[in-house]
């Protein structure tokens, strides 16, 4: 099995603290900024960054639905890590300054891919599909914090 990785980034016209706080707000903000590929969103514990346990289903393709139960940690300032209890998937969000009143938000998702020909297609196409989903999420986040 090879590791599959998808990374997406966006410059947002808001201070890094505001962007990070919005990302870490699973109670109010996160559910609002998720694109249509997400369903059954539910905060099960916590709701603000470290210690949050959140559930959602992610429909990456018409046939592929991933049931996710994510534990949230904040290993360093400006970093949010979501580890899926149901799979090897890990989302890492990093928010850094990008000039006066601007931030760079980067999300990287990694997981253990399948082997064989299925794994080849997964490594080839899944990162592009996930990048489109994350790009929409980051656009929604920007619209939320740039108000």
Write down the pLDDT at residue 114: 77
Residue 46: which region, alpha, beta or left (left: phi > 0; alpha: psi -120 to 50)? Answer: left
The arithmetic mean of pLDDT across residues 69-86, rounded, is: 97
Element at 124 (helix H, strand E): helix 116-145
Q: Is residue 110 scored above 80 in pLDDT? A: yes
Write down the pLDDT at residue 1: 62
Q: Is residue 127 scored above 80 in pLDDT? A: no
Write down the pLDDT at residue 118: 73
CA distance 143 to 137: 10
Q: Vertex 122, ends 117 and 128: CA angle to 5°? A: 145
SS (H, E, C) 22-62: HHHECCCCHHHHCCCCEEEEEEEECCECCCCEEEEEEECCC
Q: Is residue 101 scored above 70 in pLDDT? A: yes
Locus of tokens 């990070």 = 20
Q: What percent of the chain has a predicted confidence (pLDDT) above 90?
A: 78
Evaluated on CA atoms 48, 133, 33, 7, the torsion sign reads positive
Q: How far apart are the first and last CA of the chain?
A: 43
pTM to 2 decimal places: 0.91
The region of weakest confidence among 14-28, 49-63, 85-99, 121-135 is 121-135
The region of weakest confidence among 36-45, 85-94, 115-124, 126-135 is 115-124
């Amino acid at each position: 099995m090879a590791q599959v990785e998808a990374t997406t980034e966006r410059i947002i016209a808001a201070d890094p603290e505001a962007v990070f706080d919005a990302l870490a707000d699973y109670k109010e903000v996160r559910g609002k900024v998720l694109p249509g590929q997400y369903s059954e969103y539910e905060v099960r514990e916590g709701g603000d960054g470290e210690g949050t346990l959140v559930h959602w289903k992610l429909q990456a393709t018409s046939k592929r639905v991933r049931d996710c139960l994510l534990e949230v940690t904040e290993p360093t300032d400006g970093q949010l890590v979501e580890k899926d209890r149901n799979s090897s998937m890990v989302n890492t969000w990093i928010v850094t300054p990008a000039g006066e009143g601007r931030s760079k938000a980067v999300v990287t998702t990694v997981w253990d891919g399948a082997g064989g020909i299925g794994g080849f297609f997964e490594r080839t196409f899944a990162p592009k599909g996930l990048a489109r989903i994350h790009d929409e999420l980051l656009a929604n986040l920007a619209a939320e914090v740039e108000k």
